[in-house]
Amino acid sequence: MNLHNPLPLKPATCHTPPPRVTLHHHLHPLNPTLIPLQSLHQILFAAMASGDQQFPPQKQERQPGKEHVMDPTPQFMNPNYKPADKLRGKVALVTGGDSGIGRAVCYCFAKEGATIAFTYVKGQEEKDAEDTIKIVKEAKTRGAKDPISIPTDLGYDANCKAVVDEVVGKYGRIDVLVNNAAEQYMCRTVEEIDENWLDRVFRTNIYSYFFVTRHALKHMKEGSSIINTTSVNAYKGNATLLDYTSTKGAIVSFIRGLALQLASKNIRVNGVAPGPVWTPLIPSSFHEEKTSKFGSECPMKRAAHPHEIAPSFVFLACDDSSYYTGQVLHPNGGMIVNDVDKSLKPSESRFDSDRSESRKLYKFDVLAISIATEKFCDANKIWQDQNGSMYKGMLQNGQKVAIKKLYGTIHEHIFSELLVKLEHEDLVQLLGYCLEKTASFLVYDFSLCKTLDQFIFDPIMCTLLDWNKRHEMILGVASALLYLHECGPTRIIHVDVRPENILFDENMDPKLSYVESEIYLAINGTDCINVDKICGTMGYMAPEYMVEGCLSPKVDVFGFGLLVLETISGQRNYTHFPMTNENFVQYVWKNWLKGTNSNITDPTIDVDTRMISRFIQIGLLCVQADETDRPTMHEVVGMLRSSSRQDLLLPKNPVSSWIMEEVSDYINATPDDYDPGAVKEFESELSPR
């Protein structure tokens, strides 16, 4: 595959690897994956059909991904493949030919007698490209010339022309062109895809097809073949690969239109639309859980290996397909792609508006809640803080639940008109609620019973959250807040972004807890409102909200910034540092300026210091005293997805020290340190003016 300027991807979760299946096998020196001598397809199906897990959980941090580090290595060769000299004497150019489908195509073409040239991404795919050269040299037949590999960035016309010129200069012509380069990135909403992101994906996935084709055509004669790799997603859609799916749909139209243009010249233009295929794009695009189950959704209950796709390219490249043009072959494991087929299932989306509209929340009575928790007995209490407590419980139908008890009431319209419509993969999924005069209860699935603060502030539990987990949590919370601010059915301010409101399920996947009071509600077209009563948690409230009652999305940005800094440091934001007589935020800011980030980083985190410095800088930008200096959550998500520090502004002096010091003193005080009158006086000073 071939791409340029790769985006950093969201890190993944850890899961238990599946049991390995022992097979009689032989090994290829450059493809050490087990290759059964008996029926490959039957064994693969038997090994995978026992459950959804297809592959060991794994994650690669950067696209286009590396084939040689995958487990298992994608199989590019089928030992039972019988070549028949179908491409003898032909010259083939394959873009993105170093790994995945491209490598399998190069191998099969070489076995069929073709001379091979392929492109790859310089620096990122050198090892895979070297391996593919060795594979093709071993596979090539007598009469075929030695293969060449060309490092390039295909997103630009001049580079594509240079590739074609090099191939023609070496071999004299091009008989078969395979446009195969691609990149993809997960997105939750279209609002996340900015101009640079979209431009990158379209340049690699569709611009390059135009550029390479228009230059190659000058050197292609009658009987030549152009084959373009599209995807099953072009037909069924994919909500979380919106940019990629759009380019794959464009490729289908490109195939049909170009075929009509070239039919009179007897140059055939066709395509291949694979279903799920085990290639480096998968672990470099998705989190570990999705990677481990990749392919389980198709009728054959497994992903293909590249060698199962390559024969489609051989057929379209050779004279056997002489009456095929404008067509697309579908090696996709049984997925039906006809537009009229009623069984076609749309790609699932956790933020689909129709699904969220139809979702129901159960309203429980207090008796059911009391029975479920055995009258709120201490044995069922999971945790408690100043705002509420969490209990484990069991409903009468046997379902295990986690029940959050909040001190105070919530208006019912919050649930009936708002929360029922919210649906995002990084937001907690509520099962139901119960409202009483003095308390409110939120009912979750029992898996959501651990909170972030139980991990990052505990000297033992903190070791369970490595940097990948913390990185994933930060990205997830940012995406959830962006959804609430800009992408949901109603614009919402959360107001209480803090570790206690980040819940983890049994797979250690983090979720942002829902808003829990009507004060957090819609802005209805204005960016800031003034409130008479403030809600939230002391220590996490933005100064303009705590002092002046000014409520805007920048309040959540402030809370998010504190969350980032706490997650990195493992320290509460109201921690006081007596050695320097500084509050938490001032201490972080000064150490970041000095470059002494080790003073403010949890020692259990093992990660590149440049990445830590970047995330600290983003956190400090979010906690700047003036809300107009803080970025929006849309901008924050963009910063988190980028890997360059050059695109970040320098943070100004963060929130005013006297506010943080007063808050720190207030939170850390014991009952003997103050009298009720002093507390009321302090709280009145912080009331909106």
Q: Of 398, 431, 448, which residue sits at a domain end?
A: 448
Residue 557 resides in a domain? yes
pLDDT band, very low/low/confident/very high, at 352 (cuts 50, 70, 90): very low
The Cα 175–Cα 117 span in angstroms is 11
Residues 631/557, Cβ–Cβ less than 8 Å: yes
pLDDT band, very low/low/confident/very high, at 184 (cuts 50, 70, 90): confident
The Cα 160–Cα 63 span in angstroms is 20
Structure tokens of 542?
A: 């933005």
Structure tokens of 675?
A: 């009298």
| Whether residues 441 and 461 fall in one domain | no
Radius of gyration of the chain (CA): 29
Q: How many CB atoms lie within 10 A of CB 664?
A: 21
Alpha helix stretches (DSSP H) within 380-483? 413, 452-456, 467-482
The Cα 495–Cα 542 span in angstroms is 9
- The packing angle between helices 100-111 and 310-317, to 10°, is 50
| Residue 643 backbone dihedrals phi, psi, to 5 degrees | -115, 0
Residue with tokens 């802005």: 523
Q: Of 448, 464, 486, which residue sits at a domain end?
A: 448
Residue 39 resides in a domain? yes
SS3 546: helix
What pLDDT is recorded for position 439?
A: 79
| Whether residues 600 and 676 fall in one domain | yes
What pLDDT is recorded for position 32?
A: 37
Residue with tokens 């002489």: 322
SS3 78: coil
The Cα 331–Cα 32 span in angstroms is 25
Residue 345 resides in a domain? no
Residues 600/581, Cβ–Cβ less than 8 Å: no
**Does position 437 have pLDDT exceeding 60, yes or no?**
yes
| Whether residues 588 and 549 fall in one domain | yes
Q: How far is CA 136 from the centre of its chain?
A: 34
Residues 485/497, Cβ–Cβ less than 8 Å: no
DSSP single-letter state for residue 306? G
DSSP single-letter state for residue 224? -
Torsional sign, CA 212, 217, 221, 225: positive
| Whether residues 375 and 465 fall in one domain | no
**Does position 321 have pLDDT exceeding 90, yes or no?**
yes
Please give the single-letter amino acid code of residue 189. Answer: T
Q: How far is CA 314 from the centre of its chain?
A: 34
DSSP single-letter state for residue 432? E
- State the CATH number of the domain containing residue 133: 3.40.50.720
What pLDDT is recorded for position 255?
A: 97
| Whether residues 500 and 369 fall in one domain | no
| Whether residues 640 and 521 fall in one domain | yes
Residue 1 resides in a domain? no
Beta bridge partners of 445: 401
What pLDDT is recorded for position 167?
A: 98
pLDDT digits (tens, 9 = 90+) for 5-60: 333 333 333 333 333 222 223 333 344 333 332 333 333 434 433 345 578 888 87
pLDDT digits (tens, 9 = 90+) for 539-553: 888 888 888 888 889
Which residues does 539 contact at the CB level (< 8 Å), separation at least 6?
498, 562, 572, 573, 574, 663, 664, 667
pLDDT digits (tens, 9 = 90+) for 214-272: 999 999 999 999 999 999 999 988 888 999 999 999 999 999 999 999 999 999 999 99
Distances (CA, A) of 408 to 134, 383, 401, 437: 70, 18, 21, 8
Active-site residue numbers?
Answer: 244
| Whether residues 467 and 582 fall in one domain | yes
Residue 486 resides in a domain? yes
What pLDDT is recorded for position 687?
A: 46
Average pLDDT, the chain: 79
Residue 437 resides in a domain? yes
Tell which residue, 408, 417, 413, 415, has the closest CA to residue 436: 408
Question: Residue 273: which domain range?
Answer: 85-329
Q: How many CB atoms lie within 10 A of CB 66?
A: 18
What pLDDT is recorded for position 430?
A: 78
SS3 42: helix
Residue 137 resides in a domain? yes
Q: How far is CA 399 from the centre of its chain?
A: 30
The Cα 37–Cα 293 span in angstroms is 26
| Whether residues 216 and 120 fall in one domain | yes
Q: Can you give the three-state secondary structure of 336-379, one letter per residue?
A: CCCCCCCCCCCCCCCCCHHHHHHCCCEECCHHHHHHHCCCCCHH
Residue 500 resides in a domain? yes
Beta bridge partners of 511: 503
What pLDDT is recorded for position 10?
A: 34
Tell which residue, 99, 105, 90, 101, has the closest CA to residue 121: 99
Pairing label, strands 381-385, 388-394: antiparallel
DSSP string for 633-676: HHHHHHHHH---STTSPPP-SBS-HHHHHHHHHHHH--GGG--H
The Cα 214–Cα 330 span in angstroms is 26
Q: What's the number of domains the chain is made of?
A: 4
SS3 439: strand
Residues 117/150, Cβ–Cβ less than 8 Å: yes
Structure tokens of 432?
A: 């139901």
**Does position 497 have pLDDT exceeding 70, yes or no?**
yes
SS3 151: strand
What pLDDT is recorded for position 110?
A: 97
The Cα 397–Cα 418 span in angstroms is 27
| Whether residues 570 and 667 fall in one domain | yes
The Cα 11–Cα 605 span in angstroms is 15
Structure tokens of 311?
A: 């024969």
| Whether residues 508 and 569 fall in one domain | yes
**Does position 405 have pLDDT exceeding 70, yes or no?**
yes
| Whether residues 173 and 38 fall in one domain | no
pLDDT digits (tens, 9 = 90+) for 161-181: 999 999 999 999 999 999 999
Which residues does 548 contact at the CB level (< 8 Å), separation at least 6?
530, 688, 689
**Does position 519 have pLDDT exceeding 90, yes or no?**
no
Which residues does 50 contact at the CB level (< 8 Å), separation at least 6?
none
What pLDDT is recorded for position 39?
A: 37
DSSP single-letter state for residue 244? H
Percent of the chain scored above 70 by pLDDT?
76
CA atoms within 13 A on the CB side of 361: 26
| Whether residues 442 and 459 fall in one domain | no
Question: What global pTM score does this model have?
Answer: 0.50
Of residues 622 and 337, which shows the higher confidence score?
622
What pLDDT is recorded for position 689?
A: 42
Structure tokens of 287?
A: 């989190």
- State the CATH number of the domain containing residue 366: 3.30.200.20
Tell which residue, 231, 361, 234, 364, has the closest CA to residue 304: 231
Structure tokens of 620?
A: 């400090």
pLDDT digits (tens, 9 = 90+) for 93-116: 999 999 999 999 999 999 999 999
- State the CATH number of the domain containing residue 523: 1.10.510.10
The Cα 550–Cα 339 span in angstroms is 52
Residue with tokens 């000064």: 590
Residues 174/115, Cβ–Cβ less than 8 Å: no
Please give the single-letter amino acid code of residue 623. Answer: V
